[in-house]
Amino acid sequence: MTSVVGALVGFIYRVFFLKGEEGFRLASPWVKLLFLASSLYLLTRQGFQPALANIATVLALSLMWPGFEWFTSGFLISLIPAFWFSATAYVSWLLGLPGVSFTGALNILVRTLSISLTILFSASTISPVRLSNILLRIGAPSYYPLLVWRTMPYGMRVLLDSVQIGVMKGEKPHKRLAPAVAIMLEYGRYVEEYNWFKFEGKPAAPLPSRGSVKHTLILAVASALEIALGALFL
Amino acid sequence: MLLEASIEEAGYPGGFKVRNIHLELDEGEVLLITGRSGSGKTTLIRAITNTIGIQGGFLHGEVYVKGRSIREYKPGELAKRLAYIPQEPWYGIIGYTVGSEFCYTQLVTSGVCDMRVLAEAGLNGREDFITYGLSAGQTQLLLWAEAMAAGAEVIVMDEPFVYLDEENRGRLLGFVGRMIREGRGLIIVDHNPSHWRSLNPRLIVLDKGVVVYDGDASGWSVEVPETTVKSKRKGRVAVEARDIWFKYPGYSWVLKGVSFTVEEGGLTVLVGGNGSGKTTLLKIVGGLLKPTRGRVTTRGRAIYIPENPLAYYSMPTPREELMYMARGDESRFLEAVELFDLRGILDSKLSNLSSGERRRLAIASAYLGGFDIYLLDEPTGGLDAYNVARVLEAVQRLLDEGKTVIAASHDSRLKGATDRIFLGGGGL
């Protein structure tokens, strides 16, 4: 059980928090939206091929950035809902209840995998710095995205440490939530104390954010390709 | 005058207070505050930095920075004049990358972001690097860079050497020297005044919330308790690590081909610089991490006690934790209470225990769990000499019982306490 929890935490860390302000996070936000829209457009087409094409595109992009570790972790995490949905639908069919045949289950597997990978990839390209600047523009506390991306990996490590120590002590993983929460509460108290002027003050200007023409172009080409494939599969 | 504090009383309603403290800090002056754990150092710092209210405390008296009360400053304005670098530097960071953290702070304090100061702190080229991946030493250097870029005239540092290796200590002393030359003032809290003797600081010694010494640092000496342990090695191998390689996702190798053996019944200290893989190695020995390559074999059950033992406990109070680990056996519970001297804290909340108390309690709890190998991560970090001695007493109890202890630390006092050191450099 611990190794499952540990593996899941590791996958989530690699998918969302492995990289800093680089790669596709520096691509134009409009092109990121375009890519998301083109992926969803491709997925509106019937059959395996459009979904497989989208999976191949997302995985190819992920190998460019964030890299191989994202590729494997993102793929494995996406397989969880994909297998769950397809297997339950198929088993249901086998039991004579409303469900789908083997081919239908395979279709569910591929399409869920495709949707999940698209969502994970798009989420990992969100730039906390740009998000922070948007919040600053609308007058909201702009430190939120920075703090969330800063704190989540810390919280995940604490939870993992706590669960693993629990196993050494012969305890079940669920019993270890309380110590992890206690540490995060303490973390919150200290962060509030030492950063009070950052929370109560307001930045005089948006954070400097770089753009990457290279990554914008790659994402734009990938979007164009998906739209073309979508038209082809019509 | 950079800072003047006249504190009649500061503290927490119904709780600890410091009283009758008068401080002055001039340009280029170093003020060193010392005292045992619980003497009031942190409360005083909170009063000076205007953060005591955040912790539900109060300040009766006045603190002036550049002639103006700290209560009159806007948050960003005060941070521009007075920077506070906490003992655990990772709590002082909210940005997810080095660049976003540095710039956010500059934009709040100065209104502009000039990245050049990062280069002076040795962090150039790391602007896009995630702050979660920084070592404690690098995190502290980032906070230093922020303080320098803001132009803070008063720098308050709490136990700045605790998480620094020799290389980063040298870098920090370089910063301090430059600050003094530039006419800035430093308030340093350190349990070991000898770290700063070369700067000829003014020394303030606190005890039970009041000043017991105020004067030249050379005029004060403190009795250091005995801090050595006697190993009872049995000659049998408790831990054997062969050709251990390890890397975290997204990072380069932390451990490259590490091999060592540890005998039963002794204290072994793993020593290495910041980011050299001490904690990683402990976790691998304990089975918390799997090595990418290589093999670890252990004789007996191992337990890992992290730097912040809160992650170790299972119950909300020391009494419940010890009873739980003693499986309800009252006599074993009482034995541990006596053996590890925990009678005075049995019904305190775990979150209210001091660092030293937390560590002794965790060791006692693990002892009741019947473990054979104790993996202690920085067991003496941030503790005064008195509390180091008490933690080492607890370690001695384990050794007396024939247990094996492996500690990861760069605390020279711990290194001096044992005859078995595993030294690493540039990765263990």
Are both A91 and A45 inside the same structural domain? yes
Segment B346-375, tens digit of pLDDT: 999 888 888 888 999 999 999 999 999 999
Tokens linked to A232: 């082809």
Spatial separation of the C-alpha atoms in residues B307 and B88, rounded to whole Å: 11
Strand partners, B304: B375
Residues of chain A with pLDDT under 50: none
Are both A31 and A112 inside the same structural domain? yes
Q: How confident is the model at residue B251 (pLDDT cuts 50, 70, 90)?
A: confident
Are both B314 and B400 inside the same structural domain? yes
Tokens linked to B89: 């530097």
pLDDT at B208: 93
Helix (H) / strand (E) element for B77: namely helix B75-81
CA distance B327 to chain A (A): 12
* Greatest extent of chain A over all pairs of C-alpha atoms, in Å: 65
Contacts of B55 in chain A (CB under 8 A): 189, 193
Is residue B321 within 8 Å of B365, Cβ to Cβ? yes
pLDDT at B135: 81
Q: How confident is the model at residue B424 (pLDDT cuts 50, 70, 90)?
A: low
Are both B289 and B183 inside the same structural domain? no
- Does B322 fall in a domain? yes
- Does A122 fall in a domain? yes
Is residue B406 within 8 Å of B428, Cβ to Cβ? no
Are both B65 and B22 inside the same structural domain? yes
Are both A53 and A111 inside the same structural domain? yes
- Does B401 fall in a domain? yes
User: The CATH number of the domain where B134 resides is what?
Assistant: 3.40.50.300
Which range of residues forms the domain containing residue A171?
141-200
Spatial separation of the C-alpha atoms in residues B48 and B35, rounded to whole Å: 17
- Does A154 fall in a domain? yes
Task: Name the residue among A13, A69, A197 with its Cβ closest to that of B76.
Answer: A197
In this structure, how many other beta carbons lie within 10 angstroms of the beta carbon of residue A118?
Answer: 23
Question: For residue B30, is pLDDT > 50?
Answer: yes
A–B interface: beta-carbon pairs under 8 A: 171
Question: For residue B332, is pLDDT > 90?
Answer: yes
Please state at what angle helix B166-181 crosses helix B136-150, rounded to 10 degrees: 10
Tell which A residues from 34 to 73 touch B, by Cβ distance under 8 Å.
67, 69, 73
The full 3-state SS of A167-194, as one line of letters, equals: HHCCCCHHHHHHHHHHHHHHHHHHHHHH
Phi and psi for A80 in degrees, rounded to 5? -60, -60
Which range of residues forms the domain containing residue B253?
237-423
Are both A118 and A228 inside the same structural domain? yes
| B106: amino acid identity, one letter | Q
Subunit contact A207:B112, Cβ cutoff 8 A: no
Is residue A203 within 8 Å of A15, Cβ to Cβ? no
- Work out whether strand B58-65 and strand B68-69 pair parallel, antiparallel, or are unpaired: antiparallel
Question: For residue B428, is pLDDT > 60?
Answer: no
CB under 8 Å to A69, separation ≥6 — which residues? A14, A18, B249, B250
Are both A95 and A155 inside the same structural domain? no
Q: With an 8 Å Cβ cutoff, is A204 touching chain B?
A: yes
Least confident of A128-137, B69-78, B234-243, B408-417: B408-417
Are both A225 and A122 inside the same structural domain? yes
CB under 8 Å to B280, separation ≥6 — which residues? B246, B248, B254, B255, B289
Are both A88 and A149 inside the same structural domain? no
Spatial separation of the C-alpha atoms in residues A132 and A144, rounded to whole Å: 7
Subunit contact B51:A10, Cβ cutoff 8 A: no
Looking at beta carbons, which pairs linking A43-50 to residues 24 or more positions away fall under 8 Å?
Answer: A43/A111, A43/A114, A43/A115, A43/A118, A44/A230, A45/A230, A45/A233, A45/A234, A46/A233, A47/A107, A47/A233, A48/A106, A48/A107, A48/A110, A49/A233, A50/A229, A50/A230, A50/A233
Is residue B17 within 8 Å of B9, Cβ to Cβ? yes
Q: How confident is the model at residue B423 (pLDDT cuts 50, 70, 90)?
A: low
Spatial separation of the C-alpha atoms in residues A5 and A8, rounded to whole Å: 5
Are both A52 and A163 inside the same structural domain? no
Are both B186 and B255 inside the same structural domain? no
Contacts of A202 in chain B (CB under 8 A): 76, 108
Spatial separation of the C-alpha atoms in residues B363 and B374, rounded to whole Å: 8
Subunit contact B108:A201, Cβ cutoff 8 A: yes
Spatial separation of the C-alpha atoms in residues A211 and B116, rounded to whole Å: 20
Contacts of A129 in chain B (CB under 8 A): 97, 100
Are both A37 and A150 inside the same structural domain? no
| B286: amino acid identity, one letter | G
Spatial separation of the C-alpha atoms in residues B62 and B21, rounded to whole Å: 11
Contacts of A196 in chain B (CB under 8 A): 51, 54, 75
pLDDT at A234: 67
* Greatest extent of chain B over all pairs of C-alpha atoms, in Å: 66
What does the DSSP assignment read for B366-377?
Answer: HHHTT-SEEEEE
pLDDT at A141: 96
Are both B202 and B242 inside the same structural domain? no
pLDDT at B426: 44
Subunit contact B78:A194, Cβ cutoff 8 A: no
Are both B203 and B256 inside the same structural domain? no
Subunit contact A193:B75, Cβ cutoff 8 A: no
- Does B232 fall in a domain? no
Segment A49-86, tens digit of pLDDT: 999 999 999 999 999 999 999 999 999 999 999 999 99
Q: Indicate which of B54, B81, B91, B348 best probes the interface with A, i.e. most A CBs within 10 Å of its own CB.
A: B91
- Work out whether strand B185-189 and strand B30-35 pair parallel, antiparallel, or are unpaired: parallel
Is residue B372 within 8 Å of B234, Cβ to Cβ? no
Strand partners, B32: B188, B203
Domain count, chain A: 2
Are both A27 and A114 inside the same structural domain? yes
Are both B142 and B256 inside the same structural domain? no
What are the strands of the beta sheet with B373-377, ordered from one edge?
B302-305, B373-377, B404-408, B267-271, B420-423
Please state at what angle helix A2-16 crosses helix A102-124, rounded to 10 degrees: 60
Strand partners, B59: B10
Give the 3-state secondary structure of residue B170: helix
Which of B219, B252, B273 marks a domain boundary? B219
Chain B residue with CA closest to A3: the answer is: B288
- Does A15 fall in a domain? no
Are both B215 and B250 inside the same structural domain? no
Tell which A residues from 2 to 41 touch B, by Cβ distance under 8 Å.
10, 13-14, 17-22
Spatial separation of the C-alpha atoms in residues B31 and B344, rounded to whole Å: 34
pLDDT at A233: 81
Segment B165-219, tens digit of pLDDT: 778 888 888 889 989 999 999 999 998 888 888 888 999 999 999 999 999 988 8
Are both A155 and A54 inside the same structural domain? no
Subunit contact A20:B103, Cβ cutoff 8 A: no
Subunit contact A20:B310, Cβ cutoff 8 A: no
CA distance A2 to chain B (A): 10
- Does B228 fall in a domain? no
CA distance B65 to chain A (A): 16
- Does A2 fall in a domain? no
Q: With an 8 Å Cβ cutoff, is A77 touching chain B?
A: no
Q: What is the mean pLDDT of chain B?
A: 90
Are both B17 and B89 inside the same structural domain? yes
Spatial separation of the C-alpha atoms in residues B162 and A3, rounded to whole Å: 33
Domain count, chain B: 2
Are both A80 and A178 inside the same structural domain? no
- Does A228 fall in a domain? yes
What does the DSSP assignment read for A86-118?
Answer: HHHHHHHHHTTSS---HHHHHHHHHHHHHHHHH
| Reported ipTM | 0.92
Q: How confident is the model at residue B427 (pLDDT cuts 50, 70, 90)?
A: very low
